[in-house]
Amino acid sequence: MSFSLEEYQDRLRKTKVSMEQLGIDVLLITNPANMNYLSGYDGWSFYVDQMLIVVADEEEPIWIGRKMDANAASATTWLKPEHIQFYPEDHIHSTERHPMDYIGSVLKRLRQAERRIGIEMSSYYFSALAYVKLQANLPDAKFVDASLLVNWVRIVKSELEIEYIRRAARIAGLGMESAVSAIQEGVRECDAAAAIFKSLVSGTDSYGGDYPSIVPLLPAGKNTSTPHLTWTDRRYSGSEIVIIELAGCHQRYHAPMARTISIGKPADEVINVSNILVEGLNAALESVKPGVMLEEVEHAWRQVISKHGIVKESRLGYSIGIGYPPDWGEHTASIRKEDRTVLRPNMAFHMIPGLWFDEYGIEISETFRVTENGCEVLTDFHRGLIVKDQFDIAM
């Protein structure tokens, strides 16, 4: 297991405090990051229905999944064998039976079918169909949306969690080194992506890399105007810009980082915008300390870019930590206008000042944690536009 039993139990205790505040008796957790956070469960099995059930007045959660994954629950969680249960195989992709039928029967057996039940309405792995089936199975339950209940418990990290993010940040740096070294005229995008993956998954000599929740994003040329394109087998030209957004991952903890590379001499506009972006990024990072609200951090950034006549609608960043595909964000606090979340030590964020225009875009980002009196940037790579031919100098 990645953490001590005490740490898991402390997380469970905090979760139950939130449940009590919201009047929730039973919490049905389907977000794999939340399942991992509370039980340690880790397996690529979230493509079928699975769940962790936390009952307010029961000591230990119950894991329910597919039979073939129950051994994975035994291998990765701290749960007693009788707290690992599975639904019959004929419930998989069936038009007649649904895993929520089984889960409904478990809740009835536990005499929890008429209580206030928290569900994660916006979890990727709790489908609309699962919701309808669960309702049909538990007509006397009172359902409450508890989508982000555990996510909010996760927002302040323990020392060991920060250590894992720190390791992930070191791995992110290795991935970025591979990217900068691979990307040049004549190289195929897929070969650059392959080099990045190799670094991210191998990790360092001391600790390995895990799979990041999002694959490296590699828009190039005009496509840098949009952030979420992956790669093709096209070859890079001698004159284009390439955005690389990636994350190192260790024990499912992420440290994302983005950089922009210019192959060949960049246009003056690209240099100027990159400099403005870094100026804004620095100002925002300098504003970080306990007690500050996230909207104030965004304001520090916006003041800089407004001065240069640039407007950015999308948020400047978001809380990060444990992640499973398709996202490494925690979906709680965002660095944006009107987010009045107050910073506390050991919160961790990806600050990503991406600017996308019609013909190109720039991204230069950092992962940081809030310290006792400021901000520690965990990612470590040249903070600026990387001009490939001048790389040795620019570094």
Q: Does position 395 bind a copy of itself by CB under 8 A?
A: no
- Closest alpha carbon to 209 in 243, 173, 244: 173
CA 395 centroid distance within chain: 28
Is residue 351 a contact partner of residue 316, using CB atoms and an 8 Å limit? yes
Asked if residue 306 binds a copy of itself (CB under 8 A), the reply is no
Strand partners, 264: none
Closest CA to 200 of 218, 173, 180: 173
Give me the least distance between CB of 279 and a copy of itself, in Å please: 22
Q: With respect to a copy of itself, which residue has the nearer C-beta, 126 or 349?
A: 126
Using the rule CB under 8 A, is 14 a contact of a copy of itself?
no
Say whether residue 230 binds a copy of itself (CB under 8 A). Answer: yes
The least distance separating a copy of itself from the CB of residue 392, rounded to whole angstroms, comes to 25
> Interface residues for a copy of itself in 18-47 (CB under 8 A)?
42-47
**Residue 131 interacts with a copy of itself (CB under 8 A)?**
yes
Q: Which of 1, 78, 207, 345 binds a copy of itself (CB under 8 A)?
A: 207
Contact residue for a copy of itself among 53, 54, 119, 320 (CB under 8 A): 119
**Using the rule CB under 8 A, is 310 a contact of a copy of itself?**
no
CB-facing half-sphere around the CA of 218: CA atoms within 13 A:
25
Nearer to a copy of itself by Cβ, of 143 and 389: the residue is 143
CA gap 287, 190 in Å, rounded: 38
Tell me which of 10, 331, 371, 394 binds a copy of itself, using CB under 8 A.
Answer: 331
Q: Can you read off the two tokens belonging to residue 392? A: 């040795």
**Does the protein bind a copy of itself through residue 354 (CB under 8 A)?**
yes
Q: Does 76 bind a copy of itself (CB under 8 A)?
A: yes
* Subset of residues 250 to 289 that bind a copy of itself, contact rule: CB under 8 A: none
- At 37, the amino acid letter reads Y
Neighbours of 136 (CB within 10 A): 12
What is the phi/psi pair of residue 299, to 5°? -65, -40
CB 387 within 8 A of CB 266: yes
Q: Find where tokens 């570094």 sit.
A: 395
Residue 188 lies near a copy of itself (rule: CB under 8 A): yes
Minimal distance, residue 376 CB to a copy of itself, in Å: 25
User: Which among 20-28, 194-202, 294-302, 380-388 is the span making contact with a copy of itself, rule CB under 8 A?
Assistant: 194-202
For residues 279 and 249, give the distance between their C-alpha atoms in angstroms, rounded to a whole number.
Answer: 28
* Closer CB to a copy of itself, 23 or 88, in the complex: 88
Q: Are 349 and 376 in contact (CB under 8 A)?
A: no
